[in-house]
Amino acid sequence: MKTYNYGKQHLDFSDIMSVVGVLRSPFLTCGPKVKEFESALCAYTGSKYCVAVNSATSALHIAMLALDIKCDDEVITSPITFLASANCARYCGAKVKFCDIEETTANIDPLKIESCVTNKTKAIIPVHFAGQSCDMEEIYKIAKKYNLKVVEDAAHAIGSEYKGKKVGCCEFSDMTVFSFHPVKTITTGEGGAVCTNNEELYKKLLAFRSHGMHKDGAMKNNWEYEMRELGYNYRMTDIQAALGVSQLKKLNFFKKRRREIVDYYNNNLGLPHLIEKEFSNACFHLYPVMVRNRAEFYKRARAEKLNLQVHYIPVHTQPYYKEQGYNWGDFPNAEIYYKKCISLPLYPDLKNSDLDEIIRRIKEIL
Ligand SMILES: *Cc1c(COP(=O)(O)O)cnc(C)c1O
């Protein structure tokens, strides 16, 4: 019996040759491929600037640093996300204020954000869950009203559109973060990026990526540099960037096939699933469905060689965040969603015959 995981990268000969090209070149890192990948991401998303890094976690961290998030500040995000969306605020010592989700999209509920704002709030990190954009115009209005910054966690959402424009264009945000982990829509092995239209933020992101080092024309000698703040080594290698360049060329094909698969499940499976809003044209990263007895369903699926996954355990219920004062019961919609959700296989290599087989096995389990 064939095994199906919930996600899987698609790599072809052009990806392999792109990477081999770098291996045969003089620069394995700090070379031209990183810039090429960054330019390609700008061209795709419509953003002015892009900084590629070694993970989306690092990208979120330098986004927080560029906004000067500090101890005593507060950052708002969703509890239905991967840990990194919240942890980036903690890296800077800030408090994480979770805000409950909408039932139909599992995205942060814009109507609930205002009640989370205090005089310490500095930023909102909306997470585009499963690939569907949050209602960014609504979120941006709230941000403007209270003078907050907005960083989109678009780890799930490269290729997605909001109101006819690409996620990452930063029309309603200060920065947008992408992930290129292999389970995400395009991959560099490990990797991430921040897009922005703000030159000042861009310069800060560049510095935080590489030890807080600055080099400028005014310096007398080429070997001179100045460390002006505490940065990190979050650089992406040219090997990774080369993979990113060739993967990005396939993104429109990935998007098309992912949507076909989602439509196929919607039409042939009949399980409750997330709803796509009018403003969204998602490049779907996940296909979560709601099932009654999730633990039993998960176990039986594994016996049927379907390796499904739960996205996500609400972040506020993690022991670390319980120590910060959160507990079960704090965010009812997130918790109800969590108790039922399970993500089915969704990746471009799935053929319709695979989908029929997956649907057959799932109907057997139910
Ligand atoms: C995967 C993911 C991240 C972290 O991405 P890495 O590249 O693995 O660091 C952050 N946020 C969300 C919503 C994710 O799904």
CA of 220 to the centre of ligand 1 (A): 41
> Is the pTM above the cut of 0.95?
yes
Identify whether the C-beta of residue 90 lies closer than 8 Å to the C-beta of residue 136. Answer: no
**Binding-site residues, ligand 1, Cβ < 6 A:** 55-57, 81-82, 84-85, 127, 153, 155-156, 179, 181, 192
Tens of pLDDT, residue by residue over 178-224, are 999 999 999 999 999 999 999 999 999 999 999 999 988 778 888 99
Query: Quick one: which atom of ligand 1 is closest to the CA of 128?
Result: 13
**What mean pLDDT do residues 88-97 have?**
98
Query: Quick one: which atom of ligand 1 is closest to the CA of 180?
Result: 7
Tens of pLDDT, residue by residue over 25-55, are 999 999 999 999 999 999 999 999 999 999 9
Instruction: Give the phi and the psi of residue 334 in degrees, each rounded to 5.
Output: -60, -40
CA of 179 to the centre of ligand 1 (A): 6
Give Dmax over CA atoms of the chain in angstroms.
Answer: 73
CA of 152 to the centre of ligand 1 (A): 12
Q: Mean pLDDT over all residues of the chain?
A: 97
| 9 three-class SS | coil
Query: Quick one: which atom of ligand 1 is closest to the CA of 183?
Result: 1
Per the listing, tokens 């999730």 go with: 294
Query: Quick one: which atom of ligand 1 is closest to the CA of 285?
Result: 15
Percentage of the chain lying above the pLDDT 70 cut: 100
Identify whether the C-beta of residue 121 lies closer than 8 Å to the C-beta of residue 76. Answer: yes
Q: How many helices (H) and strands (E) does the chain have?
A: 13, 16
pLDDT at 307: 98
pLDDT at 220: 87
pLDDT at 218: 79
Query: Quick one: which atom of ligand 1 is closest to the CA of 84?
Result: 10
CA of 184 to the centre of ligand 1 (A): 8
Mutate which of 179, 190, 232 for ligand 1? The one with the most ligand atoms within 8 Å of its CB, which is 179
Tell me the β-bridge partners of 127. Answer: 153
Q: Is the pLDDT of residue 118 over 90?
A: yes
CA of 287 to the centre of ligand 1 (A): 17
CA of 60 to the centre of ligand 1 (A): 9
**What mean pLDDT do residues 150-167 have?**
98
| 66 three-class SS | helix
Mutate which of 181, 236, 247 for ligand 1? The one with the most ligand atoms within 8 Å of its CB, which is 181
**What mean pLDDT do residues 329-340 have?**
98
Identify whether the C-beta of residue 101 lies closer than 8 Å to the C-beta of residue 79. Answer: yes
CA of 177 to the centre of ligand 1 (A): 9
CA of 185 to the centre of ligand 1 (A): 12
Mutate which of 6, 57, 315 for ligand 1? The one with the most ligand atoms within 8 Å of its CB, which is 57
Cα 293 to Cα 92: distance, rounded to the nearest angstrom: 39
CA of 310 to the centre of ligand 1 (A): 15
CA of 136 to the centre of ligand 1 (A): 19
Mutate which of 82, 88, 108, 125 for ligand 1? The one with the most ligand atoms within 8 Å of its CB, which is 82
Write the CA distances from 222 to 235, 264, 270, integer angstroms.
21, 58, 64
Q: Is the pLDDT of residue 176 over 80?
A: yes
Identify whether the C-beta of residue 47 lies closer than 8 Å to the C-beta of residue 168. Answer: yes
pLDDT at 58: 98
**What mean pLDDT do residues 283-311 have?**
98
Identify whether the C-beta of residue 148 lies closer than 8 Å to the C-beta of residue 214. Answer: no
